[in-house]
Amino acid sequence: MKLYSKGGAVGLIRSMILHDRLSHAYIICGEKGVGKKTLAKYIAKQILCESESGEPCENCKSCRMIEHSAHPDFIAIEPSGKTGNYLSDDLRPIVADANTVPNEGKYKIYFLPSADKALPAAQNTLLKVIEEPPKHVIFIMTAESREKILPTILSRAISLNISEVSKSECLSALTESGASEEEAKGAIAVFGGNIGKCLDYINDDGAKRLPAAVEEIVNALAIKDEYALLRAFSALDKDRELCLEALAGFKTVLRDASAIKLGGDTFSVCAGGAKKLSEKLRQSSIERIYDEVASAEGKIGGNASIQLTLSCLCGRIISN
């Protein structure tokens, strides 16, 4: 398993293993596509590898079972909610199972991808076992939005923040995955160093709708055309996943517009749009619009009406 630009997190876990100072909970934070799940699996190998060196040997029984998602002590819990949210019933089995000793080694690892999609009631279900875990229990969680994790859980976990890789590393990863250099460079031009999003863009024609959707939103905002902005949002109201992806992409453009104003670089799905917004909007306006988009994203992610939320968002940001 090859990792890109994850040396800091990997080194921290290695040191904790060697000094017998492992935490009972880790939250891997970063936007979609940056490799949170890949890192989670690698950390599980570090912890459960029979070499106990803090470095996965990739050859022992534990490493091979984790690689093939067959290790009895690396337990992935998937959400069952209709909108991808964890429900309390999804997490109650962890509470019941936590006191059972591991099957193979020293630790039992519960893996919760997208833990920020757990409803507050579901997160509360885990509180007791996270506050007073058995010595053999470790939680590895991933989250795009750290703010959606309960403070009581955050305070008992170590956060590992990961981000996009360099464009050269992304090119290597994409070509090693079978993409042509031309395909890889085209994807990087759109998504920068986000390996996951680049792979989706290369392999899924549907993913190519996203940059166009973000660009339409950005162009409408740049000229303050409320009708064009509403039309751009309306194209998203039948597809919740695309809508959330487009809002996340729009936030990235706004972030980069802010960075340009402060003398930084761009790394978004619409680099030209970021430059355009940096020229058209004040820094304070960019910040307010970003907050409005983040708020709308949270509501839609929580199953609010897409059409109503986007209509309200249009009115709020066009006046900034």
User: 181 and 194: one domain?
Assistant: yes
User: 11 and 148: one domain?
Assistant: yes
The yes-or-no verdict on residue 206 having pLDDT over 70 is: no
Chain-wide mean pLDDT for the chain?
Answer: 90
CATH of the domain at 48: 3.40.50.300
Is 262 a domain residue?
yes
As to burial, measured by CB atoms within 10 angstroms (0-12 exposed, 13-18 middle, 19+ buried), residue 197 is buried
Is 100 a domain residue?
yes
Long-range contacts of 253-258 (CB under 8 A, 24+ apart): 253/214, 253/218, 253/277, 254/286, 254/289, 254/290, 254/293, 255/290, 257/281, 257/286, 258/283, 258/286, 258/287, 258/290
User: 12 and 140: one domain?
Assistant: yes
pLDDT at 106: 92
Domain count, the chain: 3
Is 144 a domain residue?
yes
The yes-or-no verdict on residue 267 having pLDDT over 90 is: no
Q: Which two tokens stand for residue 152?
A: 């009581």
Please state which of the ranges 24-28, 80-84, 132-136, 141-145 shows the lowest mean pLDDT: 80-84
> At a CB cut-off of 8 Å and minimum separation 6, what does 184 contact?
170, 171, 174, 175, 198, 202
* Rounded mean pLDDT, 8-34: 94
Give the domain extent around 236.
208-318
Is 187 a domain residue?
yes
Q: Which two tokens stand for residue 223?
A: 């000229």
Q: How much of the chain exceeds pLDDT 70, in percent? A: 96
Is 1 a domain residue?
no
* Rounded mean pLDDT, 264-275: 71
Place of tokens 């899924």: 204
Is 297 a domain residue?
yes
User: 216 and 281: one domain?
Assistant: yes
User: 13 and 149: one domain?
Assistant: yes
Contact 44, 142 (CB under 8 A): no
User: 90 and 106: one domain?
Assistant: yes
For residue range 165-182, list pLDDT tens digits in order.
988 999 999 999 999 999
User: 70 and 131: one domain?
Assistant: yes
For residue range 93-151, list pLDDT tens digits in order.
999 999 999 998 899 999 999 999 898 999 999 998 999 999 999 999 999 888 889 99
The number of C-alpha atoms within 13 Å of 37 and in the hemisphere containing its C-beta is: 14
User: 46 and 154: one domain?
Assistant: yes
